[in-house]
Every structure is written in C-alpha cells, then in structure tokens.
Structure 1
Amino acid sequence: MTSAYDALMRYTRETEALKQVFGRLGWDQETVMPPGAAPQRADEMAAMEGVLHARKTDPRVAEWLAAATPATDVEAAQLRQLEREHRRATRVPADLAAAIARTTSLAQGIWADARARDDFAGFAPTLAEVLNLRRQEAAALADGGDLYDALLDDYEPGATGEELAAMFETLRPRLVALRERLLENGNSTPRLAGHFDEAAQLRLAEECARVFGYDFDHGRMDKAVHPFSSGSGLDSRITTRTDPKDPLNCLYSTIHEVGHSTYEQNVSRDYLLTPIGMGASMGVHESQSRIYENQLGRSRGFTGWLHGRFSEVFGDFGLQDAESFHAALNAVHPGYIRTEADEVHYNLHVLLRFDLERALVRGDLEVTDLDAAWNERFAADFGVAVDRPSNGVLQDVHWSVGLFGYFPTYTLGNVYAGCLFEALTAAVPDWEQSLAQGDAGPSTAWLRENLQHHGAVRPPRETIEAATGAPISVEPLLAYLEGKFA
C-alpha cells in the first residue's frame, strides 16, 4: 500500500516538473521570443499559473500532508516546504494568481520599451496595476499582518521587514563612512580603453563560467537585457549582456549568474524535482552569486589570471600590469546602475529600493511619486543627480514583473557571503593561490560541499549557520569591505 508521503511526493514531482516548464516560458520570453508574441505569451503564462495553482490547492494535498509521517530529516524538510507552499497557495484566489501572471508577463515588455524611451510616465499606469495586484495577494497572505512581510516571505522565508531594516541600519553608517573616506582621497582610477569585440567577450565569459564550475552539459548561456539565471537540476541556464566599450559588465554579470546557476546544478540529485531540490532562499542564492563575483572574482589572485587572458584575447587595452587591472576592477565611484556598482556602493543601491518598495506596498508612497522619490533619495545617498529614468527608477526589471520583497535579499545575500567567506578562508587558506592559476576548484568545492549540495533541506538562516558554524552577523562583510578598501 502506498503511504501518504509517497503519494504526495509522486504528485509533487509532477507539479515541480510543470514549474520548470513555466520557468522555461519566462526564459524564452527574455531571450529569444519574438516581440510580437507578448500578448499570446501572457495568456500562456496565465494558463500555466492556473494549472499550477489548481495542483497546489488540490484537496488531496491537504489530506496527504495531514496523514504523512516523516521517517528522516530529509522527509521532514520536504513536508515543511510543501506545507508552506500549500498554505500560501490556498490563501490566494485562482483568478488573482492568473491575473498576476498575465499582467506581469505583459508589463515586462512595457517596462523594456519605457526604459528604452526613458518614459516613466508611460510605464507608471502599468506599474500601478502590478502593484495593486501584488497588494491584493499580500492581503490574502498576510491574514491581517504586515503586507510587505507577506511578500518578503516568498523570497526569504522567516524574514521580516523590521528585522531587515534593523540589520541594514547597522550597515548603512559604516558603508557611508567608508564611501566618503574613499571618495575624499580623490585618487584617479585606471580604466580600460578600446573597442572590445562582443563575440570575443562571450568566448571569454564562457571560459570564466567554466573556471567557476558551470556545467554546460546541463546549462547554456544567452544574452538578455537584464542578466538572470533560470531553471534548476539538470537544466540551469544563465544569461549575460555585452557592451563593446565595457567587457567587464559581460564577464562579471556572467560570473554572478554562474554563482546562482551552479548552486542549482550542485544540489543533490536525490532531491531532483522536489521542493528541497533548489536554493534555500533568494538571500542564500544571492550569497553564492556575490561571493563568486566579488570575494573570489575580484580578488587579486583571480584578477591577475584574468589580466593575462584579457591581454591574449583583446591585445592592448590600456592597462599594462595586473595591479592596475585589479585596481580598475575594484574602483569605487558613485555610478547610477546597481548591477555595475562597486562593492561599497552596491548595498546603498539595494537599501534605497528596499525603503521605496516597502513604502509602495504599505501605501505610504504612490507610484506617480516614485520617480521623484527615487531621484531625491539617490542624490542624498550618492551625491549625484539622476540624469534620466533609465539610470534611475526604470533601470531594474523587478517591479515590472511584480517582485516586491525581492530587493532586500541582495544585501542579505552580501551579509551571508561575508559570513561564508570568513569560513572559507579559514578552511581553504590557499584559495587565492589557486585562483591565480585560473582554478576556482578549491573555493567552489568548499561551497558545494558545505552549502550548495544541501539545497533547501534547512531553512535559510540555518543553511548559512550550518555551513559556517557561526551565527549570522554583518561584521564579516563590513570587516571584508573595510579591510579591502580602506
């Protein structure tokens, strides 16, 4: 006789397989879908969301969950994830879930067009519609509680806005002080010069992806307006972008997404197509992309190796020695774009978005006032006036696709990465010597064995604490930044 747990898991594997198909529709939309297909794709996404919602809320799921008894810690983790997903799905009406899927699918294209035209006013009505739908969803999920927390829980289970705000307020003063100290020095920053063939950029980006352990037998790399990763298990894909004047954007976007995607590739195959067969949370996910991109990818060891490859691929690019190349890769300047920000300014970008989106969800800020609020906050935090919406409120895709509650996981991921890097350097003291040879294996192996392999067996914070053997703190990140830059 089949047990309740076995019946539930067999049903769940089919649901998880359909989620992967749904995700592939999103990947296709951002990479190769013809622009004229957007209205039809919106209906396809809504239909798929309807199917998934029906499966998640099927009455049998509740019956199986009530009857299932876990025999192992892994089974208990599967049930924990399934109970959480079922609880959230049953609180959201099916027609609302479908409306969110349809509207956000269309909104993505509207955002891209508005961004290209620097037209926030043209995008504002669509954003207001997306926000309204997500606030309705938050109200259904919150059950009288905080709306923002209800959305945040989708990306970082167990976290609250108040908790994160307190953590971020600990970070902010020291980040601002470090930023001001560095900018007051007024040192000139070495810069790359020349025209960088975009096909050559992509070849070198692929080489870097392989250095950091990306498995192209179970993934692929494509171009997108906003780099992202998609999928899990045996099919985990990455995207990047190219600029003939800025090859570093391509390479470091690639390394960042490789951090996300190798996490998914390295989760135990025993968990394939199950609720724990993926990253523990977006904060934990971001810890992998940020530690790959920054602590490892911008280290003196790796940039020394990359300088040699740059010279071989591009010839003379204006920086003759590895030290000036390392300095260029770690330059501190108050730029507009979050994804291109240095490590000192990056979290200030995120904190700006966190405060603004929290105000939007709570009803303390109207969408029509968002552009002005963004510009005012940016001038205060960065000392620079925003020159156009594509460098300001329109630069990120997240709000157009309804990802309210997602932004704080970027800084939380940096905090997690600081904790992990402290533990990694103690466990693998020769990590940088290996990177200087173009070998990230010792570093990525430690991350794979201590964190990635376990997927979502543990809740997010427990995942980090189990890997590091220490409680989560902002101090390792601040010590790393102040030690590196000050």
Structure 2
Amino acid sequence: MSAYNELMAFSRETNALAAVAGRLGWDQETVMPRGAAAQRSDEMSAMEGILHARRCDPRVGDWLADAGVGSDPVEAANLRLLKRDFDRASKVPAALSQRLARVTSLAQGEWAAARAADDFAAFAPRLAEVVDLKRQEAAALVPGGVAYDALLADYEPGVTAADLDQMFGALRPRLVALRDQAFGIEQPPAITGEFSEQAQMVLGSELARVFGYDLNRGRIDKAVHPFSSGSGVDVRITTRTDPADPFNCFYSTIHEVGHACYEQAVDLDYLLTPIGRGTSMGVHESQSRTYENQLGRSRAFCGWLYGRMKDEFGPLSIRNEDEFYRTVNRVGPGFIRTEADEVQYNLHVLMRYDLEKAMISGALDVRDLEDAWNTRFRADFGRAVPKASLGVLQDVHWSVGLFGYFPTYSLGNVYAGCLFKALKDDIPALDAHLSAGDPSPATAWLAERVQRHGALRDGRETIEHATGAAPSEGPLLDYLEAKFGEMAASD
C-alpha cells in the first residue's frame, strides 16, 4: 500500500470510532438514564483517550511526510485536514484531552439540573473548571498566541477574532436600526391555543421530509436543546415541543434538518474520510439558517404551512396567510436566542461572543458571569433577565466546552445571505415552488453547490465557490432590510 492508502485506512478506523463516540453523546442528550451520568463520563473519557492516541500516532506523521501534498484535489484536501488534526492532537497532552471529555460530560448533566432549578451558582464551579481546561488547551495549541483564536479554529478554521470583530462591527449598527424600526410599528399577536405535542411531532416529521431529510438514514427525537448529530448514513436530529407554541417545534426541526441534510448529502465516496463531513460550523449553520429562515419563513412557504396547520389542528387564532406570515416573522422582546426573530438573533450571538472571549482571556471571572450577562442583556435589549434559565443558563454550549462556537451562528447567517442571493438569481420560480410546499429546487441547489463537496474546501472558499463572490455581510443585511422593511411599509 502507498503511504496515502495506509494513512486513509487508518483514518477511516479513527473516524468510525469518533462516530461511535458521537452516538454516545446523542444518547446522553436523548434517552440515557439520568443516573448513568458518572459512568458515561468515564466512557467518554476512555473513548477520547483512544481517539487522541490515534490522532497523534507517530505513524500518522510518517505517512503524511511520505504522502506529500496529494495528486488530485480530493487527496490534497484529505492530507491537509489530516495534517491539521495531527498537528493539533500532537500539541494537546492526552491527559488534558481525556480530562476535558470527562468534565464536559459531567457538566452537561449538571447544567441541565441547574437550568431546571434556575441556579447558576450551583453550576458555576463546574463551568469554571471547564473554562480553565479550555484555557489550558488553548495555551498548548498556541503558546503565547491568542487563546480564543486557537479555540475558534476548531469550528471555523482560517477565521480569527479580529476578522469577526470587523464583520460583527459592521452588522451591529444596521441590525439595531432595523430593530428600532420594527419596534416602531404594531406587531401581530402571537399564536394562541393548545397544540397537541404528538400532532406537532407528526407535522414536524412531515416538514423534515419536505425539506429532504432521509428518515431511512436518520431519526427525530426530543431533547432539551435541539441538535443534529452524525454523518454519512447515520444522521440524527432532535427537536422540542411546547403545547402553547408549535412554531418552536416546527422551526427547530427545519433548522436541524438543514444541518442533517448537509451531512446526508456529502458524497458517499467520502464516507469516514476527513472530507466526509461539513467543512466548518459557519457553513453548517448557513444551511440550517437558509432552510429555517430564507425558505421556511418566506411568505410563499408560510402560505403552505398555514394550510397544513389548519388541517392538523383545526381553526387557528390567525385569520389568514398574510397574518400568519407576519406572526411567524414577528419582531418582539424575548430572552431566548433560539426563539429570537431574524432581526435580533445576531444581537444575541454577538453578546455571547463578547462574553466568552472575556472568559477565555481572563478578563471575566466565571463567578461574575451571571451579573455580566444580565448587565449586557439590559444594555443590548433593554430588559431585565428574570431568571437564569432565561439568561446565562439557557444554552448548553459552554457546559460542553464549545468556546469559539457561538460566533459561527452569525457567520453562518452571513454565509446564508450570500447563498440565498445566488440561489434566487438561479431559481427565478422559487416562490411558486415554495407556495406548493416544495423547497426541493432550493435544497437541490444547496446540495449541489455546497453539501455534496463536504470539507473539500475550507469555509470561506466553499461559499465563494458556490456563489462566485467572496462572503460579506452585505447580502444578509440587504435581505433583512428588504423583508422587514416591506412588512413595516405595509403596516
């Protein structure tokens, strides 16, 4: 066997083991008995020890040296990613890697309990431990460098905090102005009534299929925090239900389906190889946000969904399709990021981005995080946070060590704006399809331009290849101003 073939055979086994570890995580958030948390943390630590040893196995370095740069784009991309992972794993001590896996597994359950009790103080010591371990990891990766950039690279390689600061600085003023404009007009009332949670799951499953989710290679379960897990031929999603708010279920489902369809659409020739997955979290989020917002919250698709909801639940408190569209897109005060309207969503993310940078740099002590959160939220959103579950404890990310992840949500929105602009140009009859409940022309375009290529290219290059232009925040802001400006003008 050539060095490249030996390396790829070894890598496939490593990726197969990583997939098993991923399913342990899925199980933990869905069906694992609560009393199994301590044992699961040991299992996750053991799996991480095996994976870490394989990722920095000296043979990988030898194979990489012998394989060179690759003879075609697929080989070159696989070698680039394997070298990146090998270099990273070689810098992080195995004991630290295992400790992180164990502590974050424990922290996940402790976060859920603290959230249910609205008790940040009970969770703060464990979160402080997670933050300390992530600082140690960053120091190992970039001794003397920018710690946050080292963590960000796990989710959006090639992007730095300085890049994000510039982009987010350009986003904020226009978003705030658009929010102020929206708050100046009367917003439609929220939907009211009781909506069977079983019926929500039935219609949610239909929406998943409508947007292209292959349930022969996936499943839908319920969790506290909706997520997508897996790749290739085993891609699973979760959603949640609220008897008073069916939109929470439907749009969480569509969002996670965007992630899942990305993984399901990757060329099966790439299965269990380094490029056989989404290229970055920003690009991943661009798929889920396009599915959820530009397609799922469009006027055309809302007309179809209005009819299906009447079929499923009977008469609604919303009188007609136009009112339904405005209700789905209503701009109003709220505490929860995942339930935020398109105008304010990025403002939630930008707040978290600033707070987590401060924690990693040491400028913000974890003990002061809740006060810092509440102060910043009042400044950004003009409201006092009444309890921790609506504030600092609402997201799972920090408990499981995902520092550097939050900004990819807004980066994904930026990428989605770029993709949707190109998509509309290529599919002039898109609204006609969406009004019939058929987003397949758009999802097929995304599958061909983005999804099937997996991690063949890095994030920014993927968007540029798909759209023909370098990514920028302009298309997203133009889309938001056009959509919400039109609703304001018609008020």
- TM-score, normalising length: structure 1: 0.99
Which aligned pairs between 1:318-329 and structure 2 lie closer than 5 A? 318-329=317-328
Following superposition, the deviation at residue 384 of structure 1 comes to 1.0
Amino acid at match of 1:123: F
Contact residue 227 and residue 238 of structure 1 kept, 8 A: yes
Equivalent residue, structure 1, for 2:398:
399
Following superposition, the deviation at residue 263 of structure 1 comes to 0.1
Which aligned pairs between 1:350-429 and structure 2 lie closer than 5 A? 350-429=349-428
Amino acid at match of 2:126: T
Equivalent residue, structure 2, for 1:193:
192
Contact residue 236 and residue 261 of structure 1 kept, 8 A: yes
Amino acid at match of 2:431: E
Following superposition, the deviation at residue 193 of structure 1 comes to 1.3
The alignment status of 1:93 with 2:90, answered yes or no, reads no
Contact residue 41 and residue 101 of structure 2 kept, 8 A: yes
* Structure 1 segments of 4+ aligned residues over 6 angstroms from their partners: none
**Superimposed CA distance per residue, residues 334-388 of structure 1 (whole angstroms, 9 cap, x where no aligned partner):** 2100000000000000000000000000000000111011111111111111111
Following superposition, the deviation at residue 299 of structure 1 comes to 0.3
Equivalent residue, structure 2, for 1:285:
284
Contact residue 187 and residue 331 of structure 2 kept, 8 A: no
Equivalent residue, structure 1, for 2:123:
123
Amino acid at match of 1:328: T
**Superimposed CA distance per residue, residues 1-32 of structure 1 (whole angstroms, 9 cap, x where no aligned partner):** x1000000000000000010000000000000
How far, CA to CA, are the matches of 1:197 and 1:476 in structure 2? 38
Equivalent residue, structure 2, for 1:102:
102
Following superposition, the deviation at residue 432 of structure 1 comes to 1.5
Aligned identity (percent) is: 65
Amino acid at match of 2:157: P
SS of the residue corresponding to residue 222 of structure 1 reads strand
Contact residue 45 and residue 105 of structure 1 kept, 8 A: yes
Amino acid at match of 1:264: E
How far, CA to CA, are the matches of 1:151 and 1:255 in structure 2? 28
For structure 1, list consecutive stretches of 5 or more residues without a partner in the other structure.
none
SS of the residue corresponding to residue 238 of structure 1 reads strand
Equivalent residue, structure 1, for 2:315:
316
Structure-2 change in CA distance of 1:452 and 1:244 (3 Å): same
Equivalent residue, structure 2, for 1:145:
145
How far, CA to CA, are the matches of 2:202 and 2:105 in structure 1? 31
Contact residue 210 and residue 439 of structure 2 kept, 8 A: yes
**Superimposed CA distance per residue, residues 445-474 of structure 1 (whole angstroms, 9 cap, x where no aligned partner):** 000000001000001100000000011111
Following superposition, the deviation at residue 190 of structure 1 comes to 2.9
Contact residue 190 and residue 327 of structure 1 kept, 8 A: no
Contact residue 190 and residue 325 of structure 1 kept, 8 A: no
Amino acid at match of 1:103: V
Question: What is the root-mean-square deviation of aligned Cα atoms in Å?
Answer: 0.6
Following superposition, the deviation at residue 191 of structure 1 comes to 2.2
Amino acid at match of 1:202: M
How far, CA to CA, are the matches of 1:190 and 1:370 in structure 2? 34
Equivalent residue, structure 2, for 1:51:
50
Which aligned pairs between 1:25-64 and structure 2 lie closer than 5 A? 25-64=24-63
SS of the residue corresponding to residue 216 of structure 1 reads coil
How far, CA to CA, are the matches of 2:321 and 2:181 in structure 1? 25
Following superposition, the deviation at residue 317 of structure 1 comes to 2.0
Equivalent residue, structure 1, for 2:183:
183
Following superposition, the deviation at residue 56 of structure 1 comes to 0.4
Aligned residues: 484
Equivalent residue, structure 1, for 2:220:
221
Following superposition, the deviation at residue 188 of structure 1 comes to 3.5
SS of the residue corresponding to residue 216 of structure 2 reads helix
Equivalent residue, structure 2, for 1:212:
211
**Superimposed CA distance per residue, residues 122-171 of structure 1 (whole angstroms, 9 cap, x where no aligned partner):** 11001000000011001001122100000000000011011101100000
SS of the residue corresponding to residue 217 of structure 1 reads coil
SS of the residue corresponding to residue 220 of structure 1 reads strand
SS of the residue corresponding to residue 221 of structure 2 reads strand
**Superimposed CA distance per residue, residues 252-298 of structure 1 (whole angstroms, 9 cap, x where no aligned partner):** 00000000000000000010000100001000000000000000000
How far, CA to CA, are the matches of 1:460 and 1:344 in structure 2? 24
Amino acid at match of 1:190: P
How far, CA to CA, are the matches of 2:465 and 2:196 in structure 1? 44
Following superposition, the deviation at residue 111 of structure 1 comes to 0.3
- TM-score, normalising length: structure 2: 0.98
How far, CA to CA, are the matches of 2:96 and 2:149 in structure 1? 19
Contact residue 239 and residue 254 of structure 1 kept, 8 A: yes
Amino acid at match of 1:415: V
Equivalent residue, structure 2, for 1:156:
156
Equivalent residue, structure 1, for 2:238:
239
How far, CA to CA, are the matches of 2:19 and 2:358 in structure 1? 33
Equivalent residue, structure 2, for 1:77:
77
Amino acid at match of 1:380: A
Contact residue 45 and residue 102 of structure 1 kept, 8 A: yes
Equivalent residue, structure 2, for 1:11:
10
SS of the residue corresponding to residue 46 of structure 1 reads helix
How far, CA to CA, are the matches of 1:202 and 1:459 in structure 2? 35
